[in-house]
Amino acid sequence: MKQSKLFPKTSKTVSREEISTNAQFLVKGGFINKLMAGVYTYMPLGLRVLKKIENVIREEINAIDGQEIFMPALHPHENYVTTGRENIDVLFHPESVSGKKYVLGQSHEEVIVPLVKQYISSYKDLPLYLYQIQTEFRNELRAKSGILRGREFMMKDLYSFHRDDKDFDEYYEKAKLAYMSIFRRVGIGNSTYLTFASGGTFSKYSHVFQTITHSGEDTIYLCRKCRIAVNKDIVNEQKSCPECQSTDLEPEKSIEVGNIFPLKTKFSNAFHLSYTDENGNSREVVMGCYGIGLGRVLGTVVEVNNDDNGIIWPDEIAPFDVHLISIDADKNGNDIYSTLQKNGVDVLYDDRKESAGSKLKDADLIGIPIRLVVSKKTGDKVEMKKRKDSKATICSLNEVLDTISKQNV
């Protein structure tokens, strides 16, 4: 893609309300645009990253037998009366002119349980794993962390349905591993910890995945040896590492990027979702739910991977593989651009008539993993620099292609 055509231009300033690092870089870089507090448009660069995150999540959830569906965002109010959740504080309640009450989905238990009830009757129909990637709405009290806490945001929510606790427990362990693969692939694996959280009224624990960053809203207590943490809310009842029992737990600020939760029979009970076992007895279905906020992950990646000049995208979710910058060398630039494209490389080509300084500044802000500069000086070679490194090298186009193919393995 030619940068001269890219919508929008980068901007030098950002509104004073945007205090978080992720929002500052993402707004300046032209990845997102704020409509109102907690509600953002994804611009072309931002949408590219969001879609890549979505694909990583889809691949990993498909690998644990998740089947993708797409449920409505507009829900009937009655279903929330059934579960007793009609008054939870984050719900938006639209109402039609004639007075019919609706709810905008903040998660989808109230839709998926009545849906699945229409198709499950026997133990032979279980287990079942259904997920979607969908817009959720939550009337969050404080929405000031950019896309980390939106009032409208994309979420992957997976629901699992089982005959008993044992079957649920086995799947829960698989989901934990799938989540760690997701966080590794999007580039926050090293700073993300499986964290014990309180399980509400129906389970001792649930687990959240917390990414350590100084801007985090949460606090976790970390056992560095086991790479496990305990959430602030339960550290009074769980004072030691659940794995090695060490009491040497260190507090760290963190962001919750994902959550896996035993629902037991709470929702099956509310909607009478049951099945007939081998002996002809009727039993309630055991459920689990598993969420990941896509925008929250995107914002967290930026919080973790940046320097003073801008974002440093991890390879797998970068908006482009290569940022090619032509400095007074349009002919060479055009040739290299088309060679890279012919080799299947996703290139953002800065063909604009801007100063070298402002082009390089934009490249640092946008944060594409490999920067190539062609100028009168470089002849038929290019100057290659990785965004995360400080040193550039002069190399041939073949060497560049070699570096990119290694990176994409």
Contacts with ligand ATP by CB under 6 A lie at: 107, 138, 140, 149-150, 153, 155, 256-259, 291-293, 295-296
Q: Which is nearer to ligand ATP, 258 or 369 (CB)?
A: 258
Least distance (Å) from ligand ATP to the CB of residue 385?
33
Q: Which is nearer to ligand ATP, 127 or 258 (CB)?
A: 258
Q: Which is nearer to ligand ATP, 10 or 231 (CB)?
A: 231
Helices 44-63 and 165-185: angle between axes, nearest 10 degrees: 140
Least distance (Å) from ligand ATP to the CB of residue 116?
20
User: Measured between alpha carbons, how far is residue 122 from residues 29, 117, 118, 170, 273 in Å?
Assistant: 53, 11, 12, 20, 11
Q: Which is nearer to ligand ATP, 145 or 268 (CB)?
A: 145
At residue 307, φ and ψ (nearest 5 deg) are: -135, -170
Q: Which is nearer to ligand ATP, 121 or 135 (CB)?
A: 135
Least distance (Å) from ligand ATP to the CB of residue 270?
18
Q: Which is nearer to ligand ATP, 5 or 204 (CB)?
A: 204
Residue from 321, 300, 304, 309 nearest 386 by CA: 321
Least distance (Å) from ligand ATP to the CB of residue 12?
27
Burial 239-276 (b: 16+ CB within 10 A, else e): eebeeeeeeebeebebbbbbbbbbbbbbbbbbbebbbe
CA 277/CA 126 separation, integer angstroms: 10
Least distance (Å) from ligand ATP to the CB of residue 82?
19
Least distance (Å) from ligand ATP to the CB of residue 227?
19
Least distance (Å) from ligand ATP to the CB of residue 181?
16
Residue 103's beta-bridge partner residues? 75
Least distance (Å) from ligand ATP to the CB of residue 62?
19
Residue from 82, 62, 261 nearest 159 by CA: 261
In the chain, the amino acid numbered 286 is: V
Q: Which is nearer to ligand ATP, 30 or 295 (CB)?
A: 295
Decide: 305 and 314 in contact? Cβ < 8 Å.
Answer: yes
Q: Which is nearer to ligand ATP, 264 or 371 (CB)?
A: 264
Least distance (Å) from ligand ATP to the CB of residue 218?
7
- Segment holding 153, helix H or strand E: strand 152-162
Least distance (Å) from ligand ATP to the CB of residue 244?
26
CA 268/CA 45 separation, integer angstroms: 41
In sequence order, which ranges of 64-119 are alpha helices (DSSP H)?
Answer: 77-83, 109-117
State whether the Cα torsion 88-71-204-273 is positive or negative: positive
Give the total residue count for the chain: 409
Q: Which is nearer to ligand ATP, 257 or 312 (CB)?
A: 257
In the chain, the amino acid numbered 194 is: L
CA 80/CA 118 separation, integer angstroms: 18
Residue from 401, 407, 387, 190 nearest 316 by CA: 407
Q: Which is nearer to ligand ATP, 218 or 362 (CB)?
A: 218
Residue from 292, 244, 347 nearest 131 by CA: 292
